[in-house]
Amino acid sequence: MKIETLAITSTTLHDEKRAVIPPIYLSTTFERKEDGTFDKDDYIYNRLDNPNRRMLEKSLTVLEKGYQAFTFASGLAAVNAVFQTLRTGDHVILPDDAYYAVILLAEELFKDFGITSTRVNQAQIENVANAITPQTRLIWLETPSNPQLRMADISVIAKLAKQANALCVVDNTWATPIWQNPLRLGADIVMHSTTKYFGGHSDLLGGALVINKNEILAEKLRKIQKVGGAVPSPFDCWLAARGIRTMPLRVKAQTASATKLAKFLATHSAIELVHYPFLPSHAQYEIAKKQMKGAGAMLSIEVNGGREAAMKIANKLKLFAHATSLGGVESLIEHRKSIEGAVSQTPDSLLRISVGLEHPADLIADFKQALKYV
């Protein structure tokens, strides 16, 4: 079946009332059988499992073509769960351009537990290969990366990870399963901030891990999820599942608009550089074409005139809110350096754009008027 169909069939929950739209199960606790026991698939307590969470995890597994999914209270809680599988003395390889809080998690939180990390530009395979040590147990990829949209070759790096006995994890938040299925390219774990395209309406927080078949890893993650307790609420699971139903159409429409906007911006004299994977000028265009079916709806631009010009453009745009986050139906723009803090390697002239569902002609017209001010 095609992904549009799977998005609907995997988010259907048949309850005893035969409701077509799944209900939300808010109950934190569930009754035992008369003899005081539970059957294997029974619900017991909300932190352990819940009908809305189970449905969402089933859907994520189907969409990412995986073995099992684990959902969390936020994307970062899902990243944290992966790091919790490590031991003191382990080493992690991270992208030098990545969601900044993933870097903070490694360099400021897990460092205190004796886990070391190295940041490299993963666009060049040799940088990854050279960073591997006998202690490397995790290679973290974010491709396209946030915010510079660098590409890493998933299948080649997954092979390197396997040889090193390390996990290969891909943050697939920007590409979404509509355009990229890292598990099919050899990754061990796919991570998502479901806050973004899965929810799609900027009104929930959630995270997920989907894994290839590996019972030892599944058991570890199950324990971290259920005993660690950073689980999503039933309502957030319900919202994410509802978002999934329209995600393929939303992502496809947003990607088509992003492509038009990227092409327009690439020709404008006020713009120095456009980072968008399917522009032939992109430094890793070949990798993008090899592993992605579409380029996604995120892009970033480096503007002439540095920070001052970037801020002016962000403030003169009328259809793009100057706000953080991404993946919603409304277009957003953000000066990333000013939120990323000390770990940032982002140019001061960079603006990150999340393209929403407004008409692309209106979005381009808005940029035309805003760019007149610089």
Residue 61 three-state SS: helix
Beta carbon nearer to ligand PLP, 340 or 366: 340
Assign 209 to helix, strand or coil: strand
Contact yes or no for 123/97 (Cβ under 8 A):
no
One-letter amino acid for residue 65 of the chain: K
Applying the rule CB under 6 A, the residues between 321 and 340 that interact with ligand PLP are: 325
164 exposure class (CB count in 10 Å sphere: 0-12, 13-18, 19+): buried
CA distance 74 to 250: 22
Instruction: Give the angle subtended at the CA of 140 by the CAs of 136 and 144, to the nearest 5°.
Output: 150
Residues 6+ apart with CB under 8 A from 82: 138, 140, 167, 169, 189, 191, 209
With respect to ligand PLP, which residue has the nearer C-beta, 254 or 366?
254
Region near ligand PLP per CB under 6 A, out of 48-56, 72-80, 219-227, 350-358: 72-80
Which range of residues in 12-20, 49-57, 70-78, 133-141 is near ligand PLP by CB under 6 A?
A: 70-78
Q: Nearer Cβ to ligand PLP, position 132 or 329?
A: 329
Under rule CB under 6 A, which residues in 150-209 are in contact with ligand PLP? 171, 173-174, 193, 195, 205, 207
How many residues bind ligand PLP (CB under 6 A)? The answer is 14
Distance CA 251, CA 257 (A): 10
Whether the Cβ atoms of residue 210 and residue 66 lie closer than 8 Å to each other = yes
- The residue number whose beta carbon is nearest to ligand PLP equals 75
Nearest-approach distance from CB 199 to ligand PLP, in angstroms: 9
Among 25, 83, 99, 320, binds ligand PLP (CB under 6 A): 99
Q: Out of 66, 75, 95, 232, point to the residue binding ligand PLP (CB under 6 A).
A: 75
Instruction: Work out whether 143 is an interface residue with ligand PLP (CB under 6 A).
Output: no
Strands 116-120 and 91-95 turn out to be: parallel
Among 49, 57, 64, 142, binds ligand PLP (CB under 6 A): 142
| Nearest to ligand PLP of 46, 146 (CB atom) | 146
Give the contacts of 374 (CB within 8 A, at least 6 positions apart).
270, 303, 304, 305, 309, 312, 313
CB of 197 to ligand PLP, least distance (A): 10
Which residues have a catalytic role annotated? Answer: 47, 99, 171, 196
Closer to ligand PLP by CB, 120 or 298: give it: 298
Which residues in this chain contact ligand PLP in the complex, by CB under 6 A?
74-76, 99, 142, 146, 171, 173-174, 193, 195, 205, 207, 325
